[in-house]
Amino acid sequence: MSEGPAAMPRLVLDASVFLRSVFEDERGHDQALALVRDHALGLVQLIAPSLLPYEVVNGVVQALRGKRPTRQLEVEEARRILVALEALRISLKPLAPPELLQVAQAHERTAYDAAYVALAEREEVPLITGDKRLYRGIRARFPAVIWVEDYRPLAPEIEARS
């Protein structure tokens, strides 16, 4: 069945990209924020393995403890970030352990990284990441990986307010 003239692009979202979208002083922030905005506007559909919220919470906890390159977060900021994640309604997909094992071995990745790669392979869509080690480790065998700073927004630019 045809989905119309152009189907909405779909991407597997790595937790590192969402975190870059909320931490303004991290490289790739503007592109990550543009991707999240494109998803919110219905221009792109983001999907992720069901472990995404746990990885985002872990990144937020690290920021609360001052262990991220970004400034230390306050508890209320951390809560707002998690509410924003839920509001995006990213489609979370489960993966079977044997599938994770196969992909982890094939790409020599952790099970966590393999979850994103396995989902992208299964759904036949690109994976967008801000994790340099993951990107470098899979791009030769999985060319559909996109580095976050290479993302080009679909929505028109929104003027910054003074």
Domain boundaries along the sequence of the chain: 10-150
What's the whole-model pTM score? 0.89
Q: What is the pLDDT of residue 157?
A: 67
Q: What is the pLDDT of residue 47?
A: 98
Q: What is the pLDDT of residues 129-161, one digit of tens each?
A: 999 999 999 999 999 999 999 999 987 765 443
Helix (H) or strand (E) holding 48: strand 45-49
More confident residue, 105 or 2: 105
User: Residue 13 pairs with which residues in a beta bridge?
Assistant: 128
Q: What is the pLDDT of residue 152?
A: 93
6 band by pLDDT with thresholds 50, 70 and 90: low
Average pLDDT value over all residues in the chain: 91
The mean pLDDT of 16-32, rounded to a whole number, is: 94
Assigned CATH class of 10-150:
alpha beta
- Alpha-helical regions (H) of the chain: 15-22, 29-40, 52-64, 75-88, 97-107, 111-123, 132-138
User: Residue 91 pairs with which residues in a beta bridge?
Assistant: 47
